[in-house]
A and B are shown apart, each in its own frame.
Chain A
Amino acid sequence: MTKFNRPGGVSRRTMLQGTAAVGTAALITPWGAPLRAQAVRGGTLRIGMAHGSTTDSLDPGTWENDFTILQGHTRNNYLTEIAADGSLVPELAESWEASADAATWTFRLRENVAFHSGHIMTAQDVIASINYHRGEDSTSAAAPIVAPITDIVAEGMTVTFTLDSGNADFPFVLSDYHLPILPAVNDGAIDPMTTDGCGPYVLNDLEFGVSASYTRHDGYWKTDRAHFDAIEQIVIHDNAARQNALISGEVDYIDTADLNTVHLLERAPGIEILSVAGTQHYGLPMDTRAEPFNNNDIRMALKFAIDRQQLVDTILNGYGEIGNDHPIGSGQQFYNADLEQHSYDPDRARFHLREAGMESLDVQIHLADAAFAGALDAGVLFAESAAAAGINLEVVREPDDGYWSNVWMQKPFAGTYWSGRPTEDLMFSTAYSEGAAWNETYWSHERFNELLNTARSELNQDLRREMYYEMQDICANQGGALIPMFASYVGAHTDALVRPDAIAANWRNDGQRIAERWSFAS
Chain B
Amino acid sequence: MSHILTMIAQRLALGLVTLFVVSLIIFLGTELLPGDFAQEILGQSATPETVAALRDQLGLNDPMHVRYAAWLGDVLQGDLGQSLANGQSVSELIGRRLNWTLSLALYAAVIAVPLSLTLGILAALFRNSFFDRFANASALTSISFPEFFVAYILIFYLAGAGGPFPSISSMRGEVAFGEYLHRAFLPALTLTLVVTAHMMRMTRAAIINLLASPYIEMARLKGMSPMRVIVKHALPNALAPIINVVALNLAYLITGVVVVEVVFVYPGLGQLMVDSVSARDMPVVQGIALVFAAAYVLLNLTADVLATLSNPRLVHRR
Query: Which A residues are closer than 8 A to B by beta carbons?
Result: 1, 3, 5-7, 9, 53-59, 62, 64, 136-141, 143-144, 193, 205, 207-211, 213, 232, 234-238, 240-241, 244-245, 247-250, 399, 401-402, 404-406, 408, 437-438
Contacts and interface: CB of A to CB of B under 8 A. Distances in A.
Contacts of A250: 166-168, 170
Nearest to A212: B172
B275 A248 contact: no
Contact of B43 (A3, A59, A245): A3
Contact of B159 (A53, A56, A248, A405): A248
A55 B53 contact: no
Q: Which 6 A-B pairs have the closest CB atoms?
A: A402-B34, A55-B85, A57-B86, A55-B279, A402-B35, A5-B43
A7 B44 CA distance: 9
A57 B87 contact: yes
30 contacts: A5-B43, A53-B275, A54-B85, A54-B284, A55-B41, A55-B284, A64-B42, A64-B43, A64-B45, A136-B53, A137-B57, A139-B42, A139-B50, A141-B50, A144-B47, A193-B87, A205-B172, A205-B173, A234-B168, A235-B265, A237-B271, A241-B167, A241-B263, A244-B155, A248-B159, A249-B161, A401-B33, A401-B35, A405-B35, A408-B44
Contact of A244 (B168, B173, B267): B168
Given A55-B41, A209-B271, 9 more contacts: A3-B44, A55-B86, A59-B86, A62-B42, A210-B267, A211-B172, A213-B173, A238-B265, A241-B168
Contacts of A207: 96, 267
B263 A54 contact: no
Nearest to B46: A141
B221 to A, nearest CB: 58
Interface in B23-44: 33-35, 39, 41-44
A208 B41 CA distance: 14
Nearest to A232: B172
B252 interface: no
B285 to A, nearest CB: 11
Nearest to A178: B45
B54 A213 contact: no
Interface string B145-163: 0000000100100011101
Nearest to B277: A401
A237 B45 CA distance: 22
A405 B279 CA distance: 13
B264 A241 contact: yes
A380 to B, nearest CB: 24
B272 A209 contact: yes
A37 to B, nearest CB: 23
